[in-house]
Structure 1
């Protein structure tokens, strides 16, 4: 059997299975129908999260077009609990109080820099101020909490779409600049801390960000091997569709734009992005990702389910569970303490079996690279873990 791409950082049994998969499904060949595969994007097709980096890039460069009133309107949109404590040890830390602090800081930043025709401070000087440091820490905390606890709905505003006001074309240009910045960042864990001297209503807040994007050559080679043998490649991502489209092209994955799906938003009459999930559209994570694949991709292949799926998180859990006929399901091991551990167990229990469906691919988070193991190395560690707390044998 031919070697379609080098092993390098691929886990050995997964690499062997992918070789056999391409050999069996290359097309055209007698008696075969064309097959397709579906990739998630963030933390699957690349290491780390592109929407996460877009959020921090906007914050680092104060690129917002929103006035303070609209900024607050987005942050408080929807029917979400604003007065519940976000940390049981800190009853004063609620979304309502957090937003009040963020908006107060944003008001100052908007007046002194963002909307000023002749700002007295440079961007770097602004970023040294207490107001900016408070704004950055609290907005980052807000963003992480909201995306981890709330679900968006079609036709409704989404709380973190603070890039509203730009056109899709402008957002794509910003994404290009963001990716250049993110690719040169060291792989590191950033810590944002609000200043003790400016506690606001919530007191001091600390938030984190996994910095640096990498696109492993192994992933690019896999995409290209599929494409070389006419196995169709699709991307279905929970990142904004314009952002993931630019990223896919930047990283040379060679997926046609009409085969890239992501979150969609409404536009106003001037063609500017509104912070509202497009209706109709699909929320492209969890069950919404599965529904999009069933609605838009399966009909292109006479109802065939994907031959292979690639993902990393609970955003991919539903499609892994729902597509029973999919023969290969690959989880990139982020050591998450959630339902994805079910797939790690399935992969370990079937390890080395010829008919195995589930595979786990290890990652080194310090270098942003794949490692030839099921186990992953967390930030700041030199120890590999197969599951949270379970060291690689």
Structure 2
């Protein structure tokens, strides 16, 4: 045989061996293989969204991805006739910080009100009992504060601001108004009053009261203001703010101090999870204890990346007048979306369209979410964004700690660096102002 013929035979045999290897590999290849970043192909060649690992705690990531594998469109437990769904809390779960609280402060800073002084004087007392606040609510001299005293000071301040600010009935620009002691006193005492109501009467009174100040605005006006508020909060640093009212404006209340956390951050891992759920035909809803138009402005706007349909966003609601303007009155017959009110809303507004089924997944961070984590027996997995809660929800977090590393946990934890507003790949959290990661609130140890 000539050398040329021998080479041809060798080439032919090599080609046959390679073809056999390719056929063998194709037969043994699993039904799914990675075809592009973040996606798998099923046996039909359909692209399947896979959760990005981001900064997930590894065990938490695995549990969430397993849920998607089981209940997503290509999973063995998927029901195409009644698609599963997931429910997310918003504040400090889907973002870092509280959008309604930041909106309340932004509204103060912008003096964005459509209230006359007489209307303001009525709104500020709505649903709040007369008399002293709880024993812990005191001025800087240790004196107890009453609703009557602090509202007299605030009405005095608001009347001045109303008559001097060019955005209301005056002619002075906002920058000049901000320098006045009347504005400083107004801002600090109004936020102090909100904290006093929350401390004394709880969220049931405080949360609706905080949003009553949008009275006489339309939903469109609130939404536009909320977008501006969100942009502002996303641009400023996450810091603790401590303010004390001017001595010259002590009035009947005296001098008071307030503290709050400024700044806000998006949660890209939550956004990615929402999109991954939707890509796998798991419907996504938001149920928040925040004001619905304010939450919707960030959850549904393409600008912020979550892209939740507006009719899938639920939060606190107010009544409207004949001109479609908000009234300072909580919507009659509508669930108060806090604690047990959240599962009430899920059953009455969402599950009713899902054959009465509970969500397969919930996400939350605080006592506001306690009802979802204890009353929705049909959930398969509950994600706790770990802000070291105490109280009832702290007990739920403790159950998650006990299940860490075990197969098929009911609850899982995800840690956050509260200084940056970003997740960290751990179940533990780094508290604001510290550099130490902590797994549970000290009260639970």
Pairwise TM-score range, normalised by the shorter structure: over 0.9
Structure 1 length-normalised TM: 0.93
Say which is worse superposed, 289-298 or 25-34, in terms of deviation. Answer: 25-34
> Matched residues in 2 for 1:46 and 1:58: separation?
20
- The structure-2 alpha-carbon separation of the partners of 1:201 and 1:79, relative to structure 1 and needing over 3 Å to count, comes to closer
Secondary structure in structure 1 of the residue aligned to 2:126: coil
The structural deviation recorded for 1:391 is 12
The structural deviation recorded for 1:150 is 3.1
> Matched residues in 2 for 1:109 and 1:182: separation?
24
Task: Report the equivalent of 2:152.
Answer: 100
Matches within 5 A, 1:279-358: 279-358=332-411
Counterpart pick for 2:286 among 235, 239, 254:
235
Write the deviation string for residues 227-252 of structure 1: whole angstroms up to 9, x where unpaired.
11001101011111111111102322
Counterpart pick for 1:277 among 324, 330, 345:
330
Secondary structure in structure 1 of the residue aligned to 2:129: coil
> Matched residues in 1 for 2:135 and 2:123: separation?
19
> Matched residues in 2 for 1:160 and 1:114: separation?
23
1:13 paired with 2:59, answer yes
1:136 paired with 2:187, answer yes
Secondary structure in structure 2 of the residue aligned to 1:339: helix
Counterpart pick for 2:175 among 124, 149, 159:
124
> Matched residues in 2 for 1:276 and 1:50: separation?
20
- The structure-2 alpha-carbon separation of the partners of 1:18 and 1:30, relative to structure 1 and needing over 3 Å to count, comes to closer
Say which is worse superposed, 156-165 or 254-263, in terms of deviation. Answer: 156-165
Say which is worse superposed, 4-13 or 360-369, in terms of deviation. Answer: 4-13
1:51 paired with 2:100, answer yes
CA contact (8 A) 2:70 2:77 kept: no
CA contact (8 A) 2:128 2:197 kept: no
Higher relative contact order (CA 8 A, sep 6+): 1
Task: Report the equivalent of 2:11.
Answer: none
- The structure-2 alpha-carbon separation of the partners of 1:214 and 1:116, relative to structure 1 and needing over 3 Å to count, comes to closer
- The structure-2 alpha-carbon separation of the partners of 1:216 and 1:30, relative to structure 1 and needing over 3 Å to count, comes to closer
1:68 paired with 2:117, answer yes
Counterpart pick for 2:68 among 13, 22, 30:
22
> Matched residues in 1 for 2:152 and 2:388: separation?
34
> Matched residues in 1 for 2:119 and 2:249: separation?
24
The structural deviation recorded for 1:31 is 5.8
> Matched residues in 2 for 1:57 and 1:332: separation?
26
> Matched residues in 1 for 2:383 and 2:360: separation?
11
Secondary structure in structure 2 of the residue aligned to 1:107: helix
> Matched residues in 1 for 2:128 and 2:108: separation?
26
- Note the aligned Cα RMSD (angstroms): 2.3
The structural deviation recorded for 1:390 is 8.4
CA contact (8 A) 2:362 2:383 kept: yes
Say which is worse superposed, 27-36 or 242-251, in terms of deviation. Answer: 27-36
CA contact (8 A) 1:28 1:230 kept: no
Aligned length: 389
The structural deviation recorded for 1:187 is 1.1
The structural deviation recorded for 1:160 is 4.3
CA contact (8 A) 2:63 2:408 kept: no
Q: Which is greater in Rg?
A: 2
Say which is worse superposed, 284-293 or 330-339, in terms of deviation. Answer: 330-339
Task: Report the equivalent of 2:47.
Answer: none
CA contact (8 A) 1:171 1:242 kept: yes
Task: Report the equivalent of 1:254.
Answer: 307
Say which is worse superposed, 245-254 or 178-187, in terms of deviation. Answer: 245-254
Secondary structure in structure 2 of the residue aligned to 1:82: coil
Counterpart pick for 1:193 among 219, 244, 250:
244
CA contact (8 A) 1:77 1:159 kept: no
Unpaired runs of 5+ residues, structure 1, are none
Say which is worse superposed, 329-338 or 169-178, in terms of deviation. Answer: 329-338
Matches within 5 A, 1:205-244: 205-244=256-295
CA contact (8 A) 1:40 1:310 kept: yes
> Matched residues in 2 for 1:86 and 1:167: separation?
38
Secondary structure in structure 2 of the residue aligned to 1:161: helix
CA contact (8 A) 1:39 1:309 kept: yes
CA contact (8 A) 2:56 2:414 kept: yes
The structural deviation recorded for 1:95 is 2.5
Say which is worse superposed, 190-199 or 228-237, in terms of deviation. Answer: 190-199
1:82 paired with 2:131, answer yes
The structural deviation recorded for 1:351 is 0.9
Unpaired runs of 5+ residues, structure 2, are 1-31, 39-49
> Matched residues in 1 for 2:329 and 2:362: separation?
29
